[in-house]
Amino acid sequence: RKEVEQDPGPFNVPEGATVAFNCTYSNSASQSFFWYRQDCRKEPKLLMSVYSSGNEDGRFTAQLNRASQYISLLIRDSKLSDSATYLCVVNPPRMGDKLIFGTGTRLQVFP
Amino acid sequence: DTGVSQNPRHKITKRGQNVTFRCDPISEHNRLYWYRQTLGQGPEFLTYFQNEAQLEKSRLLSDRFSAERPKGSFSTLEIQRTEQGDSAMYLCASSFIQGAYEQYFGPGTRLTVT
């Protein structure tokens, strides 16, 4: 089983739609979780951290479900500029500071 | 620009040649990471440094790969006797010791081995 699994998509949604991505992780003792955004042929950029209580940043909401070992990202009122690949990232315990990335979920927002 | 920089941005080489990439981290960051990313995959960890000390190496890093960070500032990643399977994007990231998750990535070096 992969350490971090994501649906690769693509998710094709119209502007203004709400879209949600899920990601599952295998190590139940993992403590740190993040979403990174990666535009085509660009470097990954930290979008948001995922806290146990859930967190929101504008149109973006991240949630963590430890019991089911999954992380979600909700994007409301999608914009054309949200089109990108969203990478689910985990820092498992006893792995130092290295990040384990999922394969990414591709989002395409159309007019 | 005070972000992470990498050079070259693109490298095309023939199989069997050696290549070296350079990464300049954000100046006040003391941790530096190397990742590799192939098409359709997320970045995979290769190695990381705290100051000049190399603290961890992935099993992905074969004997043909070597990384250095001699003065705790910039880092180099060398691949000897390149193989076609080495073709990938090589990403460098840096962070403070605390808050390692806040890793800031450079634009990457795209390697093509022909």
Q: Could you report the per-residue pLDDT of A16-39, keeping only the tens digit for each? A: 999 999 999 999 888 889 999 999
pLDDT at B96: 82
Cβ within 8 Å, pair A96-B41: no
B56 touches A at CB < 8 Å: yes
Q: Which amino acid is at A84?
A: A
B102 touches A at CB < 8 Å: yes
Looking at beta carbons, which residues of chain B come within 8 Å of A32? 101
Low-confidence ranges of chain B (pLDDT < 50): none
Q: Which range among A48-52, A64-68, B4-8, B62-66 has the greatest average pLDDT? A: B4-8
A93 preceded by cis ω (within 30°)? no
CA pair distance B42, B60, nearest whole angstrom: 14
Q: Residue A34: left (phi > 0), alpha (psi -120 to 50), or beta?
A: beta
